[in-house]
């Protein structure tokens, strides 16, 4: 039987209360995620990892505010407060996260000109992070996702995972969402319709 991996998405200080792009209740999932880490054979973490002045920051575009959308060469992009700057405290994993078991940390969003929500592809939906190849080469055919945020990085990772042929589950109780204009409900629906198992 193919192996299984837990992929913990962006459980970083900036996405937790007090952080630059705080997700309501983001820190509440830490104990549950730690249980999942303990109970899963293979663990992969993702880490949002932006250079200062990243193009997904509203501060990089004159006359814009966080949470507005603009059109980038690769499509629509929501603008965010500056967050998860490479090497900053905000980019560190939550201090309660039992991260030491992780076999791989996938950093994403490190190219100034393009954002990356998904753990598998950047927001052009073409540039791979290498995660699919890594998992396939290791015989891992099934993944479980948890982390932040439900409606952005978790959802886009899950949708890409299904497209890449992985059996994909999302533990919704171990995720929290940003929820812009109903985006949590919309993305949960998209995941369900795409064949993501929601548990």
Contact footprint for Zn ion (CB under 5 A)? 48, 109
Which is the catalytic residue, given 16, 84, 153, 175? Answer: 153
- Per CB under 6 A, 49 contacts ligand VGL: no
Q: Residue 39: CB partners within 8 Å, gap ≥ 6? A: none
Helices (H) and strands (E) in the chain, counts: 4, 8
Is residue 153 among the annotated active site residues? yes
27 binds, among Zn ion, ligand VGL, none (CB under 5 to 8 A by kind): none
The answer to whether residue 108 is catalytic is: yes
In angstroms, the CA 37 to CA 77 distance is 32
The residue from 153, 158, 161, 174 that contacts ligand VGL (CB under 6 A) is 153
Residues of this chain, 157-196, that bind ligand VGL according to CB under 6 A? none
Helices (H), the chain: 30-39, 131-137, 155-163, 183-194
Candidates 120-128, 149-157, 167-175, 185-193: pick the segment binding ligand VGL (CB under 6 A): 149-157
Report the distance separating Cα 156 and Cα 121, nearest Å: 9
Spot the catalytic one: 108, 115, 151, 175.
108
Assign residue 108 a region (left: φ > 0; alpha: ψ between -120 and 50; beta: otherwise): beta
Q: How far is the CB of 2 from ligand VGL (least distance, A)?
A: 27
Asked if 36 interacts with ligand VGL (CB under 6 A), we say: no
Query: Which residue in the set 57, 120, 121, 152 belongs to the binding site for ligand VGL (CB under 6 A)?
Result: 152
C-beta of 1: minimal distance to ligand VGL in Å? 31
**How far is residue 189's CA from residue 23's CA, in Å, rounded to a whole number?**
20
């Amino acid at each position: 039987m193919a192996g299984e991996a837990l992929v913990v998405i962006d459980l970083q200080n900036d996405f937790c209360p007090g952080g630059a792009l705080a997700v309501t209740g983001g820190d509440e999932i830490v104990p549950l995620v730690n249980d999942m880490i303990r109970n899963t054979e293979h663990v992969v973490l993702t880490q949002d990892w932006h250079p200062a002045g990243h193009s997904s920051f509203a501060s990089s575009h004159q006359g814009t505010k966080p949470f507005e959308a603009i059109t980038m060469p690769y499509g629509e992009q929501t603008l965010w407060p500056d967050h998860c700057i490479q090497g900053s405290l905000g980019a560190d994993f939550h201090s309660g996260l039992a991260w030491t078991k992780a076999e791989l940390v996938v950093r994403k969003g490190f190219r100034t000109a393009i954002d990356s929500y998904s753990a598998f592809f950047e927001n052009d939906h073409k540039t791979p992070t290498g995660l699919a190849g890594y998992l396939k080469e290791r015989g891992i055919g099934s993944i479980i996702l948890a982390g932040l945020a439900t409606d952005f990085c978790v959802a886009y990772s899950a949708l890409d995972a299904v497209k890449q042929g992985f059996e994909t589950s999302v533990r919704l109780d171990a995720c929290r969402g940003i929820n812009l204009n109903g985006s949590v409900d919309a993305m949960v629906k998209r995941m369900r319709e795409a064949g993501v198992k929601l548990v």
